[in-house]
Every structure is written in structure tokens, then in C-alpha cells.
Amino acid sequence: AQKITQTQPGMFVQEKEAVTLDCTYDTSDQSYGLFWYKQPSSGEMIFLIYQGSYDEQNATEGRYSLNFQKARKSANLVISASQLGDSAMYFCAMRESYGGATNKLIFGTGTLLAVQP
Amino acid sequence: NAGVTQTPKFRVLKTGQSMTLLCAQDMNHEYMYWYRQDPGMGLRLIHYSVGEGTTAKGEVPDGYNVSRLKKQNFLLGLESAAPSQTSVYFCASSYWALRDIDPRNAEAFFGQGTRLTVV
């Protein structure tokens, strides 16, 4: 069954430091997509980064990178040079059967990141 | 450039009342989703749709019904509201992301959420 696990309910990081948010997933499909979203205290969902299961290189978007380890079924988000504005809830998500009829998009329980000055 | 619009943004219901939440998207997306967000539980999928006229159950479908009569709209109904349905509800939409298209199109776009309280 499709499942996303985020084991860190909360994290602290010092401003300008790097931080890794963990995400593991479970799927029996060969084709799937992995996503990270940010939810600030204002509540909106902001897309950060995407990794396809067939992509050989780790995805990067500015200060965000996705450490994709397919054999371990992990898709950790790395935020470099943390900023105060990075304080938010972060969700890992997966879409299975990439392009198929069972194209559900499911989320983990989230990690609340607090960046300290 | 509206994107995904949810109405209403806030609502208070009495137990047993019914209501419909409307989600509208103007991006011609095939897929649409309804989630509920509760503290400590992340976003849980209620129902989703892979195209006009089709719907499917997600992780927590009980107590909810949906309809997708038009491609741009996805309605979530509560026939008899219960306090356990107090939550923040999010709608999202996305393209039918095939492997060979631009992966940036795989992103799901979210509405701003509806805060529902059932008393």
C-alpha cells in the first residue's frame, strides 16, 4: 500500500545552517513522483521540489535539494543556508502510478521546522 | 490568474446540517483532490477525481460525497455534519502527469483552504 512516513514531528535549526527533513515512502509501483510542500503559518500550501522515480539525478531548486535514495525508499529534503522565513510545516508527498488511473497524491504527517536566529 | 479557488473560506455548522464545499480550477487540470488537515495527522485524502464524471475514494471517505460534473469543478458534500468533521479542508488539482512531459507539470496546486467547525 502507498504510504509516506515523516518521523520528525519538529526540528530546530540555526539561521544560516543546513537542515535535513526525513521522508520515507512505501510503494509497489515502479513509476511514482515525490514532492515536498511548505505550509507557513498563514496556511497556504507552497510547492518546493519534485523528484520522479526514474530521475537519476537528485532534484534541486535554489536552496532546496532532494536526497533521493531509491533503494532505501527515502526522499529527504535538504534546505541549505536556513532563513527565518523557512520556519513552517513541511510535507512530503507521493503520487503513485505516475500517469495511471490510480493516481492518488498522498501526504505524510509533516515536520514543523523552526529556524532560530 | 485565479488557480484553485475554494468557497467558502470559513463555515460553522450545527451537528446534522449539510453543506457543500466548492472547488474551482481554471488550469484545465484533469486531476482534482479533496483533503482534510488535522493537527498531527498531515493531509489525508478524502476523495479524488481523475477526470470529468469520475470520482474515487481516498483514505478517509466516510461521511463525505463528491461530484465532478464539470472538469473545472469538484464539489465536496457533507450530508449530516458531525463534530469529527471539524477540520481544515483543502482542494488541489494537477495535470495527468505522464513520464515524458515536463516534470514541473507534475505539481499539484492547492486552494487556500476552508476552515469548517461543526458544533
**pLDDT at residue number B103:** 60
Q: What does the alpha-carbon distance between residue A39 and residue A42 come to, in Å, rounded to a whole number?
A: 8
Between B30 and B83, the more confident residue is B83
Return the number of CB contacts < 8 Å for A and B.
76
Mean of all residue pLDDT scores within chain A: 92
Between A100 and A49, the more confident residue is A49
Contact flag B35-A107 (C-beta cutoff 8 Å) = yes
Give the residue among B50, B43, B57 at the shortest CA–CA distance from B91.
Answer: B43
Tell which of A37, A97, A105, A109 to mutate to test the B interface (max B CBs under 10 Å): A105
Bin A7: left if φ > 0, else alpha if -120 < ψ < 50, else beta.
alpha
**pLDDT at residue number A30:** 82
The predicted model gives B8-34 an average pLDDT of 95
Of B48, B59, B106, the CB nearest to A33: B106
Report pLDDT digits (tens) over A40-77.
999 999 999 999 888 889 999 999 999 999 999 999 99
Q: What does the alpha-carbon distance between residue B95 and residue A105 come to, in Å, rounded to a whole number?
A: 12
Q: What does the alpha-carbon distance between residue A5 and residue A76 come to, in Å, rounded to a whole number?
A: 11
Distance from CA of B29 to the nearest CA of A (A): 13
Q: pLDDT band at residue B100, thresholds of 50, 70 and 90?
A: very low
The predicted model gives B6-15 an average pLDDT of 97
Mean of all residue pLDDT scores within chain B: 91
How many other C-beta atoms can be found within 10 angstroms of the C-beta atom of residue A38?
21
Contact flag A47-B50 (C-beta cutoff 8 Å) = no
The rounded percent of chain A whose pLDDT value lies above 70 is 95
Tell which of B36, B37, B46, B115 to mutate to test the A interface (max A CBs under 10 Å): B37
**pLDDT at residue number B1:** 61
The residue to which cell 507539470 is assigned: B105
Between A1 and A46, the more confident residue is A46
- The DSSP call for residue B19 is E
Contact flag B97-A106 (C-beta cutoff 8 Å) = no
Rounded to whole angstroms, what are the CA distances from A59 to A3, A33, A41, A64, B33? 21, 12, 26, 8, 25
Report pLDDT digits (tens) over B35-81.
999 998 999 999 999 889 999 999 999 999 999 999 999 999 999 99
